[in-house]
A and B are shown apart, each in its own frame.
Chain A
Amino acid sequence: MPDHNLPAPVLATPPEAPWPPDQLTRVPYWVFQRPDVAALEQTRVFRGDTWNYLCLEAEIAEPGDYRATTLGGVPILAVRDHDGEIYAFENRCVHRGALIALEDFGKTREFTCVYHAWSYDLQGNLKGVAFKDGINGQGGMPDCFRMSDHSPRKLRTAVVHGLVFASASDTVPPIEEFLGEEILDRIERVLGGRQLEVIGRFTQELPNNWKLYVENVRDSYHASLLHLFFTTFELNKLNMKGGLIVSGSGGNHVSYSAIDREAEAKAKAASSEYAAQNIRSESEYRLKDPSVLEGQDEFGDGVTLQILSVFPGFVLQQIQNAIAVRQVVPRGVDRTDLHWTYLGFKDDTPELRLMRLKQGNLVGPAGYVSMEDGCVGGFVQRGVVGASDRHAVLEMGGSDAKSTRTRATEASVRGFWKAYRGHMGL
């Protein structure tokens, strides 16, 4: 939970513009520009009282399986040990700081640093120091050196419906509390009780601060304005209902839309009337191969879109049958890595799997309804150069950060800033 008693943060120089406390409708542009803010985020956000997505449980299914991943840019190893548990520790040798593992994935009995062959068990405990006792009685480590005094920093781990999260904090609340019940339910809705299968992985390099991307994910206001694919091909359905869930902390959100069965029936009746009288206008644009949109209602609830975010940098996406997780990783003040993992389930029918592949066209770096998100953060990053004393205006839908039945709101963007300011003490 945010600790409001943190001492005032040490920024190298005072901010270019004040940020009035408890004001969620203004965000000063200097938060996207300052290296000292980025440094503070490492300790207070990524290493603070947060849970950060590391990888899928399915990626480290067997004892000895490991995945080299990252927490806020810091290299991390997530490992399955023989006790069946998942451990996570920094991928950094305690001797001289070199990476311990050099592959993204693997299976091993132990880890050995290539530099001087110091070795670690699967939980990150230092187990071997080469030439510890010297050679022929000469050299070696001093007698007082204890391997147990040295290990890479270890993280707490938690698994939620096949997603592996980790925290560097000893004071972070349990993950269920951190997520909140409504968020947890919607993760379960997509992933609960199912065996995940990776069907693709891509990394998108974004030319902007990481916060501009996670704002974008929470921004339900932009969806039909920036992403014109559905509108252009007249695929928008007016008979949709939707809404927004913002967690109590503000940091986590769900945006969803669903088919409104009642409205659908009415629309059908109306459209046959229109067709009979031949007065319905026809758009110039039609898909030549509309099979891309012939998805299945695989969850049986008519929800065609569910975008879910967890503070600070995790996203679970269901757009029709295209399911993916996204990990947002800062790579500097104005660079971000966005790691996409496209998912299927082991029990997919061939038809459903084919639909996931086709609807993969909607998402990712080349996605019909997502490619714009790759560049729009850069437009802001470039647009605010020289404007660090100015601010963004977030007043759509009011000034709070609460759940609502409309998506014409910036409530969940404000929620992100509420959580962010709490953690940062800004």
Chain B
Amino acid sequence: MQITDIMAVQARYARCIDTDRLEEWPDFFLPDCQYRITTAENHRLGYAAGLIWADSRGMLQDRVAALREANIYERHSYRHLLGLPLVDGTGPEGTRSETPFIVARIMRDGATDLFATGRYLDLWRADEAGTPKLAERIVVCDSSRIDTLLALPL
């Protein structure tokens, strides 16, 4: 797996969320996957709980369905800016990478704020077609603070 393969998928991942195509978001993951949103402090201290904690693609699909059909929040969107992935090596379980991000949140009235900064700690495995899929994505936010709520995934 080349760094450019990972970069290409990351670019699609960011566009998927930022253009409100959330139904496609779980497809970036393998069926048996880990997705968590946590904070640098929790990560450092080894605290296992997450803001979002999923251990299957089904849970990610459920998250999207809940956002669409059940949860109530003011309309908003994100703009993800991803840094270059640092590829941490490839082993039998896949390729590990770490990618910094910043996410701005744009509210329905236009108010734009820096919502989150952090890094993705990823484990990638290629699917049958050779496309990198996420076996694991741990979203480590730098700050322990979340403004108002976290609805859309990071």
Contact = CB atoms under 8 A, between A and B. Distances in A.
Interface of A: 198-207, 226, 228-229, 231-233, 285, 287-289, 291-292, 342, 353, 356-358, 360-361, 364-366, 368, 371-372, 374-375, 378
Q: B38, B39, B72 — which one has the most chain A CB atoms within 10 A of its CB?
A: B72
Interface in B19-64: 37-39, 41-42, 47-56, 58-59, 61-63
19 contacts: A199-B49, A201-B42, A201-B47, A203-B144, A203-B146, A205-B148, A206-B148, A207-B147, A226-B72, A288-B58, A361-B53, A364-B51, A365-B51, A365-B150, A368-B66, A368-B70, A371-B149, A371-B150, A372-B72
For the complex of A and B, 6 pairs with smallest distance between CB atoms = A200-B49, A289-B58, A288-B58, A374-B149, A232-B70, A366-B150
B70 A366 contact: no
Given A201-B47, A229-B71, A233-B70, A207 B148 contact: yes
Contacts of A291: 56
Q: B38, B50, B58 — which one has the most chain A CB atoms within 10 A of its CB?
A: B50
Q: B51, B61, B151 — which one has the most chain A CB atoms within 10 A of its CB?
A: B51
Nearest to A228: B70
Nearest to A322: B49
B107 to A, nearest CB: 11
Contacts, number: 118
Contacts of B128: none
B93 interface: no
Interface residues of B, number: 36
Nearest to A339: B144
A233 to B, nearest CB: 7
A360 B58 contact: no
B4 to A, nearest CB: 32
Contacts of A202: 39, 42, 51, 144, 146
A285 B66 CA distance: 9
Contact of B61 (A232, A288, A342): A288
A163 B149 CA distance: 26
A289 B59 contact: yes
Contacts of A372: 71-73, 149
